[in-house]
Structure formats: C-alpha cells, structure tokens
Amino acid sequence: MGYTHPEVLVSTDWAAQHLNDSGLRLIEVDVDTTAYDSGHVAGAVGWNWQSQLNDRVRRDIPDKKAFAQLLSEAGVTPKTSVVLYGDNNNWFAAFAFWLLQLYGHTNAKLMNGGRAKWVAEGRPLVTERPQVTPTKYPVPKKVNAALRAKRPDVERALKTSKTALVDVRSPAEYVGDIVAPPGMTETAQRPGHIPGARNIPWSQAVAQDGTFKPHDELLKLYKGAKVIDGKDQIIAYCRIGERSSHTWFALKYLLGVKKVRNYDGSWTEWGNLVGAPIARGAE
C-alpha cells in the first residue's frame, strides 16, 4: 500500500492469527458496548466511548490518571502491543488510538476494516468476556499536546494561511442543511462549518469494505483538495472528534504528515460558541 507507517495497521487475517500472542491486547472500541456485548473477537476487552473515553463530568478527554486506570483495568502494561478495532468503520477505535498517542503509548495499531470487515468475512465472535489480570499502568508524565487542537488553536488558524482546516463531516453537515446525522444526540445550536475549512468527508478515505484506500489514492484525495500543499499544518474536525480521529490517522500515519492535529471539541463546541464565526453553503 506504500503507507509511511504501515506498522500501525494490521489485517483481519493478522489479527486472527495473533489472538493468543503474549504481550498483545485486543480492544474493541464502540460508541457504546451494545455491539461488544452481542459478540466480539475472542480475547478482546470492550471500551465504551461515551463512558470510558470521555470525562464523566467535564466535556473533555479522560485525564492522565483516569486513562492510566483504564489501561490498568484492560491488563495493559507500557510494553503491551494494543490492537484496536470497533464499530462505525473504526471511528471510535481511531479516537482511542489518538488518546494512546497523546498519553505516550505508541505501541498501538488499528485492525483495518474494523468490526464490520471481521463480521463480513464470517469470522467467529464470542460473548464471554476475557479473564483479565489488572496491571498498574503508570500515570503518564507528559501529554503529546502537538497532536491535539483546542479552540484557541482553531481561532489562530483563522487568522493565518499556514494551517489548513479539514471538515470531515458529511456535505449536508458542512453546508448547514443539518446539524448532526440522524439519531445523534450530541449536537450544536448552529449548523454550518468553520470559515475556510475544506470539506473532505472521512468516507472518501476508505474502500467499500471499510479498509483505508492505498497511499496514492489518499495522497491524490488530500492534495487535490489543497490540504497537503507543502506546509502540512492541518487541523481536522468533525462533530465530536471521532471521525476526525480517523482522518487524523490517515494523514499522520498513512501519508506521513507531521503537523496534523485532531480538534476533538469539533462542531459540538464550535457550533455552540457565542460569537464564533460560522459559514454556510459550499466554499
């Protein structure tokens, strides 16, 4: 495929052959655990994006202590190779991958195609939860802040041409016809997009089976939209930060863009800000 960092992706075949490897922890990450409870890959721990990968009080990611506790409960040590997969074309698995990188656990991978590809291939699922021996994962000392964009970073990007903003939501969300996809509860008071953002839906980066497109096709996609133009300073956003994690992964690890950040506040933050500039319609 010619990816810059092919080591961060594994196939379903690879996963099936390494389920029992020592030093490896398979984790299914879903928006909730309904899918996991109905059947998951043998040995996989289940993470709930809503309750475990978000702070339960503040609108924020888990802090360092909470994330270390989550890894401890999953039986992960600093040396464990974590393989992530999940529902919705790995949106939430990519979000978990992003969190792992933020907190310094770089030994992580995505199972290409996620849960849907595993099921489509007729591979077995089990309902019993694995017996996990908890560890004492150390609380990270640092956070890789270069991977995360916050509101001030977006505000600064609006004042310069050095940073490209990439809106990975659907065209209907981007132009302001809808605030959120049907059935989604996390929303905003105003529809539209951040002025100047290019609309490159996350789905354009994947093939029909949910796997990432080859390097050359991805490069053509983002170069054609003038996102990659030699400056390579990019901020990706969506509605709640999960779809943009997927695009962030493609840009950083598959195409090798060094300065790309995920704005996890995304539209549920920007679309609720008093006085924040919003554009509607196509640009």
Which residues contact residue 225 at a Cβ distance below 8 angstroms, ignoring those fewer than 6 apart? 166, 198, 200
What are φ and ψ of residue 4, in 5° steps? -65, -40
Distance CA 231, CA 11 (A): 32
Q: Quick check: pTM over 0.85?
A: yes
| Interval 75-104 mean pLDDT | 97
Which tokens belong to 13? 């075949």
Q: Give the pLDDT of residue 125.
A: 98
Q: Which residue has the tokens 């995505």?
A: 110
Which residues contact residue 275 at a Cβ distance below 8 angstroms, ignoring those fewer than 6 apart? none
Question: What residues are labeled active site?
Answer: 238
| Interval 217-223 mean pLDDT | 95
Task: State the span(s) of the chain assigned CATH 3.40.250.10.
Answer: 6-143, 148-270
- Best CATH choice for the domain 148-270 from the list 3.40.50.720, 3.40.190.10, 1.10.150.20, 3.40.250.10: 3.40.250.10
- Cβ–Cβ under 8 Å, residues 97 and 245: yes
Q: Tell me: pLDDT of 175 over 90.
A: yes
Q: Tell me: pLDDT of 229 over 80.
A: no
pLDDT > 90 fraction of the chain, expressed in percent and rounded: 89
Beta-bridge partner residues of 279: 193
6-143: CATH architecture? 3-Layer(aba) Sandwich (3.40)
Q: Tell me: pLDDT of 80 over 70.
A: yes
Q: Give the pLDDT of residue 231.
A: 67
Which tokens belong to 250? 């493609």
